[in-house]
Structure 1
Amino acid sequence: MNTTKFIDPKETDIRGLFSTQQVHKVPLHQRTYTWKKDQWEELFDDIVQLSDGETHFLGSIVVIPDQLKLGVNFFQIQDGQQRLATIVILITVLRDLAEEKKTQGSYQDYLYAKDYNGNLIPRLQLSELDNDALMCILEKKPMRSSHPIFDCYAYFQNRIKKDFQNNLEGAIRELWSKLLEKVYLVHINAFNDFNAFQLFETLNDRGLELSAVDLIKNFILQKVSGDELKLKECVSLWTEMFGNVRDIEPIKFFRRYMLSSFKGKVSERRLNKILRSIIEKEKWDRETILNFVEDLNQKSTIYSHIHRADFQDAIEINKRLQDFQLIEVSPSYTLLLKLFPFYENVLLSKEDIIKALKMIEIFHVRWGVCGQSTSSLDTIYNEICYDLSTTSNSTDSMGILHSIMSRLDKEIKANVDYTVFKDNFLKRTFKASERRTKYILWRLSKPTGETTININEIQTEHIMPQTLSNDWIKYLKDKTNLSENEIIEKYKEYGDRIGNLTIIKGEWNEGMSNRFFEGKKKAYKNSEFSITNELCDWNDWTFDEIEKRSEKLAKLAVEEMWKWQK
């Protein structure tokens, strides 16, 4: 009978976990510290609210043995680092507050283990991107930069001082006691990487917190784990990749990467299964997996530049990428991930990239204004990328641009051609609060000096106000011969049309918005936007004027600003 254990689970309180000769290390490839205020607050409240006889179960941590060195047992954490790191941060805060109040306590013993030579070893050691921040608070060094660990420390410190300002010393002692004796977890020794990986999968199937990117990482590393050099290289590349996108939703980057690299639909929920299926179906060896991670890392740098609009020596490109963020073109990032490597390899020039960006903007403005399905955009861009990967179109700039133009031309002619775009632009409802509305109005003003837009400095103004006062209704009655009910009904149709909207910059109070048109014209006259000061040429403002101005702006949009020419 085989008595070899698959795992060795042990229930322990925090005192038991941190009073042994154990040190827990987070492997280089593990994800960074990501807990935020919601998690800190929930944990803190759970501990504070514990009454006599109650305990709080923190969950489980999965570890594998690393080494025994000078009497200290080192374990690698495979799951649970977020909870463990947060507990260590809380202990550090309690230590520092106790020292401020000159309150005695053995806090340091729970933060450091001691080897046979008397050397102090931090009981928790995080991955490369987090450990410096953790050591800062452990060693009481200045927190000079921004980091989630510093934010967590500040949250606990401020919360304790605020909630217990009348009896801080007593609160520190009570919190310390509850943390050590009433907070429990299950410490699971999985013995090896394979067992830990299988346990990972089981925990994820049961709905515990593991993102698709985490699972992909663990699967990839498990596949190369038989080759130590390739494993280390994979870990290094993955860490660098994650550092590039950690602040811009890594899972969205990974999905865009998959859509740009492989044919077919990819949802965030199915990322892990899709990539595993590809790896197993195509029988990727370790070299292929390493090449995949190298490419993933390269594309993460490009994705970061796209998202932040900060390509070097590319002012016009960056300006257009900034504009993209205002008109909801994130599905096009799939194609941009395919295009920008050609730019970096000098197959595409700056002018070529700008041509592609212009095409994408025209396509997206038309698509959005006409209310077309956004879900179909993933398919469109995925198929363009696949075409570039499998045909000779990607061997020169003309072929690349032709491939993009041909597909977008097909979609525009079928769904958002001249007539459809103009009719929708003329009659659709434009939401004043949307960034896209502000951008469209700004572009229609044909700015000459200002090449970029600070969306926070611009407000969308209803020329005929959103709420019609009695005076406005009387004015419209006199001008249109409509009844009050007819005016109200007609306003529902015309109030949010493009012809009744303009943009203003700076202070603009509600009283100004509700003025009669004649009173507003004095303010419009001083506007730096041509689309606004041109309103001074109109004598009245009724539904007829809204109709005429909508027609004028729709013609400008379809024949100049977002004109499509193949």
Structure 2
Amino acid sequence: MIIKPTSLTVTQLLGSANEQYVVPAYQRRYSWKERQLADLWDDIDVIDGSDNHLLGSIVCLTGHHTAGLNRLEVVDGQQRLTTLSILLHCIHERLKADGATDEAQEIDRLLHAKPLGGKSVRKVCLDSMDSGEFELLAKGESAEQLCNSQLANAFATFRGWVAEIDLEHLRQLLYRLMNQAIVIRLDVSEAKDAFKLFETINNRGLRLSPTDIIKNFILGNSARFGKDELDMARRKWGQLISHLDGINSEAFFRHFLCAHLKKRITASYVIPNFKMVFMLEVEEAEKLPELHWYTDDEGSDEEEDDDGYAETNGETVVKEEDLDEIERVPFATFLDRLVNSAKTYREIALASTGKPKLDRRLRNLRMIKSLQTFGFLMAVRTSGCSDDNFEKILKLTEALLVRRHICRERANENETAFAKLCGVDPRNPLPEVIEAYRLLSPTDERFRAEFAETRFIPRLIERARYCLEQIELNRHGRHPELLVGGPDLVHVEHIIPQKIKTRRAKSEFGDWPAYLGAKYESQHPKFVSRIGNLTLFAGPLNIGASNNPYGRKKSAYKESAIHITKVLPTDYTNFRFAQVEARSEEFADLALEIWPIP
């Protein structure tokens, strides 16, 4: 590996007219937050006298320089380099507005590259998902729907800070930035070396995300396969991160491995298992001289399930002898499967298949917290399962997850069970799925009892909304297309309010303590979050102080278009803890019909 490290001021880093730094499409979105922006600003602002300040390093894949425009691929340091570009843009705007033309032109030369006889281009070019938004924000224009709020925040934050200081202070800051802030540029001519260097550097500092390490493992190995393979891998990785934009990419890779290996893989062992799968399945990897590229730091395998419980699992790297017969496939096929899985994962996570029946079911699963099912659903969907069978599986999964969540079954057990199901026959998956779900389903007796007594605390309110929606559809016989509105239109209403003792609560909701009776303090926490005390309601309820606050609510409830709310005044003349219990028991009976054992 030949590395050419050079210590450069920002002026020197950006000063060459025929060099352009390209942030490639396979890089993740810009993600610096205000804390990192403030650290950079403060580090520059407090440089004392003739001291220098090291901003960090960047790794560039340089190739061979020519007389024309040389595009340097930024393998590492794109966040820092983009931030410097944004800050210089904002300072340039301020200087130009204040008539400091010469100084503004000096910055403009750093922001643009213009080789002899060529056109002027941006010095830092985002050839990524952020490209369009960067151009709009750099011009001071606003986009109606920005996908990357961090990028917009960086421009807004720096513009605000630059506007707040006087011109002399700004000139001092600019001088320090251009002449006393140092960046170490590491030039590497071979792609395989550049990606390896990236991981080596970052392993000495902040821990890389699994996605970053997997990206560099794929791109680094593809460089060893050949130039065409590297170009293909860059393109495919760009497609993959586009599919995963706004999605938890770490969760995707974990579920991809769960589906692929038909075993539960915990977060700490995503990287070694992915490398193992790659090495054993990619045809071209057979020719590589070693099995493992880098040494992985072993971390804790402790994680939280959907109900917030920490649990430890001892599973590590799946052994080759534990796998079914391994089919070697070309590198291109491996990447296509990975990209297609990412596309399907996005559709599942965002309920965006474009098919209303499927998306409605997927939305329901999202509401009840069903992340453990995503690997299984992705595997079934990508293997060619028909839409009709997939919808039936979603409906069955919905019922199973509600039962297991209500009965507080462990999330890791759910994930293990779903991972084992990833090998079902996609042409006829239902028999095996139904058999497995029957074994996993809590009994009717247990589910009914737990449903009546479950406390839907604030972090489970979306699960409560889902349950109330399904009860509404069941009770009212409404056509399933006419779903209850989202949380922006309809909220989960606590009939007996969550807070009743404070002066403000009495002013807004009425005197519930007096209405509920002497034992209200001990009974209120027990009943307030049960399903029987919850309903769906649109708009505000202005009750005001009253000796019968439920009586004041009745008129609003009667006008509701939601059946389970509209019937409250008719079904319950008064509403105290006994009524909460009775309504909870009634809903528990319905729960057995709505979410049956298959």
Under TM normalisation by the shorter chain, which class is it? Answer: 0.7 to 0.9
Query: Which consecutive unaligned segments of at least 5 residues does structure 1 have?
Result: 478-483
Aligned mates of 2:577, 2:124 — CA distance in 1: 69
CA distance in 1 between partners of 2:499 and 2:246 (Å): 41
Change (3 A) 1:315 1:185: same
* Cα distance in structure 1, aligned partners of 2:118 and 2:227: 32
In the alignment, is residue 535 of structure 1 matched against residue 535 of structure 2? no
What is the distance in 2 between the residues matched to 1:283 and 1:541?
Answer: 65
Q: CA separation of 1:474/1:305 partners in 2, compared to 1, >3 Å: closer, same or farther?
A: closer
Encode CA deviations 1:364-418: one digit per residue, 9 max, x unaligned.
Answer: 1112212222222221211110x32xxxx33x2xx31222222221111xxx221
Q: How does 1:39-78 map to 2 (within 5 A)?
A: 39-52=36-49, 55-70=52-67, 74-78=71-75
Separation of aligned partners in 2, 1:262 and 1:369: 29
Deviations 1:196-231 (A, max 9, x none): 233223223324253212221221122222322222
User: What's 1:124 paired with?
Assistant: 124
The TM-score with structure 2 as length reference comes to: 0.81
Q: CA distance change for structure 1 residues 25 and 473 in 2, over 3 Å: closer, same or farther?
A: closer
1:304 alignment counterpart: 346
Q: Structure 1 stretch 269-278 or stretch 461-470: which is displaced more?
A: 461-470
Aligned counterpart in structure 2 of residue 401 of structure 1, from 405, 409, 430? 430
Q: CA deviation at 1:73?
A: 5.3
Q: Which residue of 2 aligns with 1:197?
A: 195
1:362–1:6 Cα change, 3 Å: same
Question: Using the alignment, how far apart are the partners of 1:294 and 1:118 within structure 2?
Answer: 38
Which deviates further from its counterpart, 298-307 or 5-14?
A: 5-14
Q: What secondary structure does 1:511 align onto?
A: coil
**Structure 1 length-normalised TM:** 0.85
Contact 1:61 1:186 in 2 (8 A): yes
Change over 3 Å in CA distance of 1:196–1:402 after alignment to 2: same
Q: Is the 8 A contact 1:25 1:124 kept in 2?
A: yes
The CA deviation at 1:257 is: 2.0
- CA change 1:515–1:367 in 2 (3 A) is farther
Asked if residue 80 in structure 1 is aligned to residue 106 in structure 2, the reply is no
Number of residue pairs matched?
Answer: 532
Following superposition, the deviation at residue 131 of structure 1 comes to 4.2
CA distance in structure 1 between the partners assigned to 2:543 and 2:34 by the alignment: 35
Instruction: Give RMSD over aligned pairs.
Output: 2.8
Alignment CA distance shift 1:421-1:154 (3 Å): same
Aligned with 1:454 (options 486, 499, 502):
486
What does the per-residue CA deviation read over 1:213-264, in whole Å, with 9 as the maximum and x for residues that have no partner?
2221221122222322222222212211211212223222222222222233
How far 1:289 sits from its partner (Å)? Answer: 2.6
Partner of 1:480: none
What is the identity, as a one-letter code, of the residue corresponding to 2:232? Answer: E
1:1-33 Cα deviation digits (max 9, x unpaired): xxxx74332322212212245433334433343
Q: Distance in 2 between matches of 1:356 and 1:248?
A: 23
Q: 1:460 to 1:121 in 2, by over 3 A?
A: closer
Q: 1:525 aligns with which of 518, 542, 558?
A: 558
* 1:420 paired residue among 427, 446, 465: 446
Q: For residues 217-366 of structure 1, what are the structure 2 equivalents within 5 Å?
A: 217-225=215-223, 226-282=225-281, 284-285=283-284, 288-312=330-354, 314-342=355-383, 345=384, 347-348=385-386, 350-366=387-403
CA distance in 2, matches of 1:123, 1:491: 63
- Alignment match, 1:481: none
Identical columns (%)? 26
What SS is found at the alignment partner of 1:551?
Answer: helix
Contact 2:199 2:216 in 1 (8 A): no
The residue that corresponds to 2:439 in the other structure is: 410
1:25 aligned residue: 22
Does 1:13 find its partner at 2:13?
no
> For residue 194 of structure 1, what is the amino acid of its counterpart?
K
| Distance in 2, Cα, partners of 1:282 & 1:339 | 20
- Please tell me whether the aligned partners of residues 469 and 483 of structure 2 are also in contact (alpha carbons under 8 angstroms): no
Structure 2 contact 546–552 (Cα < 8 Å) conserved: no
Instruction: Summarize deviations over 1:85-127 as a string: whole Å, max 9, x none.
Output: 1111211222222212221211122123443436545432333
**C-alpha distance in 2 between matches for 1:459 and 1:515:** 23
Contact 1:224/1:231 (CA < 8 Å) preserved in 2? yes
Contact in 2 for aligned 1:427/1:497 (Cα 8 Å): yes
